[in-house]
Structure 1
Amino acid sequence: MPSSVLDAIRLGIWDYEPEKVESNRFDPTGALPGSNEKLDILARRLANGLPLWHPEDRRSYDDTVKAEE
């Protein structure tokens, strides 16, 4: 059983859906969308089998999130 989307792709499983992970089990990010920092965070989440998006992630330049506090 794959532990991440990347593992599923390596195994040829194209309809893989990861298990739900509560947002309190991983941290939000204040990184700007499209920035290298944000892409690195998304890549780490993917590799660790976490959802790409956290409800409190920064979504725009003007967005303020708890991650920045």
Structure 2
Amino acid sequence: MPSSVLDAIRLGIWDYEPEKVDSQRFDPTGALPGSNEKLDILARRLATGLPLWHPEDRRSYDDIVRMED
């Protein structure tokens, strides 16, 4: 059984759905969408079997106000 989406792709499993992970088990990011920092964080999440998206991730430039509060 694959432990991440990357493992599933390597095995030719295209409909793999990772197990649900409580968002409290990993940190949100304040990195701007599309930035190298954000892409690095997403790659680390993917490689470790975490969901790509955290509900509190920064989604736009304007989210900086919420992240700093």
What is the alpha-carbon root mean square deviation over aligned residues? Answer: 1.3
Amino acid at match of 1:21: V
The answer for the alignment partner of 1:46 in structure 2 is 46
Question: Structure 2 CA distance, aligned partners of 1:59 and 1:15?
Answer: 26
Structure 2 residue 29 is the aligned partner of structure 1 residue 58: no
Separation in structure 2 between the aligned mates of residue 60 and residue 12 of structure 1, nearest angstrom: 34
Q: What is the TM-score of this pair, normalised by structure 2? A: 0.92
Task: Give the match for residue 30 of structure 1.
Answer: 30
1:24 is paired with a residue of what secondary structure? helix
Q: Point out where structure 2 has 5 or more consecutive residues left out of the alignment.
A: none
Moved over 4 A (4+): none
Task: Give the CA deviation at 1:44.
Answer: 0.2
* Percent identity of equivalent pairs: 90
Richer in helix (by share): 2
Number of aligned pairs? 68
* Structure 1: gaps (5+ residues): none
- Map Cα deviations across residues 5-53 of structure 1 (whole Å, 9 max, x no partner): 0000000101000000000000000000000000000000000000000
Query: TM-score normalized by structure 1?
Result: 0.92
